[in-house]
Structure 1
Amino acid sequence: MRREAVRVHQTEPALNTKTHVVTVHRASLTGVEAISLRSEHVFPRHAHDHYGIGVMSEGAQKSWSVVGAVEAGKGDVIMVNPGEMHDGSPIQGPRAWHIVYFDPDLLSHELADDERGTDVVFNPVANDQALAGKVTALLHAIQFSEPHEAEESLLTCMLHILQQHRLSGSSKTDKSPPVARAIEWIEAEPDINQPLSALAAASDMSRFQLIRGFIRDVGTTPHAYRMQYRVRLARRHLLQGRPIAETAQLMGFADQSHLTRAFLRQFGVAPGRYLAAR
């Protein structure tokens, strides 16, 4: 049965930017999200649990990615990998893009016979008109077409990226053992604010070495990583039906407002409005 496409449109003045308009589209596929943005918001370094493939429709932006600093302009395809630390800043005015996020399991399932899909790394930017057309078709399909048509469109995009814009095995995704231990420590207890000294001791490093290693391998500080990881976990709890206030307490935020500000800063949309489109 065809599902009606629903859009949640919002302007978020809390971001304190000249322009920030977000439209969250309700998708016809489980494990898939579609979002449109036109914004001057500077997104801090953060990560997603999903792959993302989108098209820039206006302006330009610069961002940090798995391959370092990149720029994308109108017509370029932008891609995000699960767990990849990235950010985004406008270049001379608002920029706009339409993007689809999808669960890594959707890719790993298709590649189950020969490789693990979660090991696939996409190139962050591609100037590829053919792929841009496929992504645009995908955005339309997951909003307005039957699920089987949307699935076919998503698989078509995946195949094109795997054949022409794949960066599997990039050494830039590797982390030193001490930093990897610190990340494991943070992710094991994300709701607890361990002192930097305790985290450094658990990782057999000085505080200076820990911060230097995190910035080198992850692209941000341990505290910033803990905060953005909390937001990612909070998103999962919210999608499972847990109330916002309860989720805030569970994830170690001071209160619901604290979670809302962090969620808005990272994803560009408030949690209540995000859930309204689900």
Structure 2
Amino acid sequence: MNSSKMTNCDRKNADIVRQHTIQLLPITIAGIEAVNANSNISFGRHTHEQFGIGLMDSGGQKSLSGRGHVEAKAGDIITVNPGEVHDGTPLEGPRAWRMLYFDTEIINRCFSDISDGKFASGEFALPVSTNACMAGIFNQLYEAINSSNGDAERLAADEAMLVMTKALAHMPRPQMKMPFKGVLLARERIDDAPGSDTSLSELAAIAGLGQFAFLRAFARYSGMTPHAYLLQRRLSLVRKLIRGGTNLVDAAIASGFSDQSHMTRMFVRSYGYTPGLYAKQISGI
């Protein structure tokens, strides 16, 4: 393009440089992952199988969450519950954040402890919290987990985890309006065999609905279309297989992706880093 004929919009777009760095930190505590990120890219709708607690270190982002659309800025605590559909778009320029992801049994043990055994599960009620004290608690938790090389550090991590969970906990889980039973059966079909081929007509038949009625009912219940939900379940299966030592090519095929490159594109779109990097982090390289 002739620079003399560039519009203001062209110049503005040309000035936008993709910035994206995600570091997976080596953690010795089973069931915990730590991510350090700095990025100006947007993440599409996706889910995690774990609880997530993070801190926005700089910049800001807007996102869809389990409580609707929210905005988080530097100093804010951000959370996500297992299976909760969310996305993320930078507000202005890059934003930096740190996340800790916990297997559900770890946080559920915290829920049980802080409720004196009354509740074995719960959820994080606030997708964004501006409480400065909680930011300090997160920093203590993050530091303890990332330096957990001995009994003293593990004790500090366990204590900080309980304090953080108590500050964020909402129990008991509110009752959800159950969808039409057929929608649950169709979702179970995806959950039971995410690597297998399926179709909208097959899922609608399982639900006992017309295809369009099923599409609307499924999206209303799960927050995403059946296809998007299937991709998330496949990505969860990929992560499980990688943790079990399966190589990337076999993990892609077993999870229903056409090839490794397709799996990698979907993995990066949801998590911001490649399955290869995840495999290295798991193997301790």
Same fold (TM over 0.5): yes
Q: Which runs of 5+ in 2 are unaligned?
A: 1-15
Q: Which shows bigger deviation, 28-37 or 104-113?
A: 104-113
Looking at structure 1, the residues matched to 118 and 172 of structure 2 have their Cα atoms a distance apart, in angstroms, of: 14
> Which AA in structure 1 matches 2:136?
G
Shift of 1:169: 3.2
The percentage of counterpart residues that share the same residue type is 36
- Give the 3 Å change call, closer, same or farther, for CA 171–64 of structure 1 in structure 2: farther
**Partner residue in 2 for 1:41:** 41
Shift of 1:171: 5.3
> Which AA in structure 2 matches 1:41?
I
**Partner residue in 1 for 2:144:** 141
Q: Which runs of 5+ in 1 are unaligned?
A: 1-15
Superposition map of 1:60-209 within 5 A: 60-110=60-110, 111=112, 113-117=117-121, 119-145=122-148, 146-162=153-169, 166=170, 168-170=172-174, 175-209=179-213
> Residue 249 of structure 2 aligns to a residue in which SS?
helix
Looking at structure 1, the residues matched to 72 and 180 of structure 2 have their Cα atoms a distance apart, in angstroms, of: 30
Deviations 1:56-91 (A, max 9, x none): 111111111111111111111000001111111111
**Partner residue in 2 for 1:5:** none
1:238 aligned to 236, 242, 254, which one?
Answer: 242
Larger radius of gyration between Structure 1 and Structure 2? 2
1:253 aligned to 238, 254, 257, which one?
Answer: 257
- Given that 1:62 and 1:69 are in contact with CA atoms closer than 8 Å, whether structure 2 keeps it comes out as yes
Looking at structure 2, the residues matched to 21 and 160 of structure 1 have their Cα atoms a distance apart, in angstroms, of: 30
1 or 2 for the larger relative contact order (CA 8 Å, sep ≥6)?
1
RMSD: 1.9
- Given that 1:122 and 1:168 are in contact with CA atoms closer than 8 Å, whether structure 2 keeps it comes out as no
TM-score with structure 1 setting the length = 0.87
TM-score with structure 2 setting the length = 0.85
Shift of 1:148: 2.3
> Which AA in structure 1 matches 2:80?
V
Deviations 1:12-64 (A, max 9, x none): xxxx9711110111123211111011112221111111100001111111111
Looking at structure 2, the residues matched to 195 and 233 of structure 1 have their Cα atoms a distance apart, in angstroms, of: 19
- Given that 1:29 and 1:150 are in contact with CA atoms closer than 8 Å, whether structure 2 keeps it comes out as no
Looking at structure 2, the residues matched to 172 and 53 of structure 1 have their Cα atoms a distance apart, in angstroms, of: 23
Looking at structure 2, the residues matched to 34 and 69 of structure 1 have their Cα atoms a distance apart, in angstroms, of: 25
